[in-house]
Amino acid sequence: MNPSSPRPEARALVCETREQALAAALDLLGAARREARIYTRDLDPGLLDAEACVEALRRLAISGRGASVRILVHDLRPAQQDGHRLLPLAQRLPSVFQLRSPLEPGDRDYASAFLLNDAGGYLCRTLASRWEGEGSTYAPGRQAQFAAYFDQVWERSAPCTELRLLGL
């Protein structure tokens, strides 16, 4: 961050419903400068395939040079079978969207889901199967903890070749 630019406003993000989780995700994606990282079990149907979320990810993806959306997904098959809206976008923009799947049993047992932006924001749902979660629009310390974990798992994960089978 540029030292002369003002510090973003830190606002708590608390969600108990899909609508609140979607609003929080849209806040974070809208504030992202160039990068988003998403850790999910199944591409979070009802959240990441919501039209507004796909549009926010599209805007980030085409925002300029260096845009990156990295997604760790445990199981891509349900999303493929259900026609998840994010997959065609990821296929059209493979230089921006990278999807990997964790291989290690400990990584695959991780029960949470989270979304990070590169502006210090995060949203974590402790149980990925539920909408309840919390985060902040600006908590760089906590965001960095999630980012470090994400990066460790990313390095131990394999690219999702299923996307290539669909025509990449």
Q: How many domains does the chain have?
A: 1
The phi, psi pair for 74, rounded to 5°, reads: -70, -45
CATH number at residue 48: 3.30.870.10
Q: What's the rounded mean pLDDT across residues 58-67? A: 94
Task: Give the pLDDT confidence score for residue 166 in this predicted structure.
Answer: 45
Q: How confident is residue 129, by pLDDT bands cut at 50, 70 and 90? A: very high
Task: Give the pLDDT confidence score for residue 4 in this predicted structure.
Answer: 54
Within a domain: 154: yes
Within a domain: 72: yes
- Mean pLDDT value across the chain: 93
- Say whether pLDDT at 108 is over 60: yes
- Say whether pLDDT at 65 is over 80: yes
| For the ranges 32-36, 64-68, 161-165, the one whose mean pLDDT is highest | 32-36
Q: How confident is residue 92, by pLDDT bands cut at 50, 70 and 90? A: very high
Within a domain: 3: no
| Domain boundaries, position 92 | 12-165
**Alpha carbons 57 and 68: distance in angstroms, whole number:** 10
Q: What's the rounded mean pLDDT across residues 2-9? A: 65
Within a domain: 2: no
Within a domain: 5: no
pTM of the full predicted structure?
A: 0.92
Q: What's the rounded mean pLDDT across residues 39-51? A: 96
Q: What's the rounded mean pLDDT across residues 109-114? A: 97
- Say whether pLDDT at 30 is over 50: yes
Within a domain: 7: no
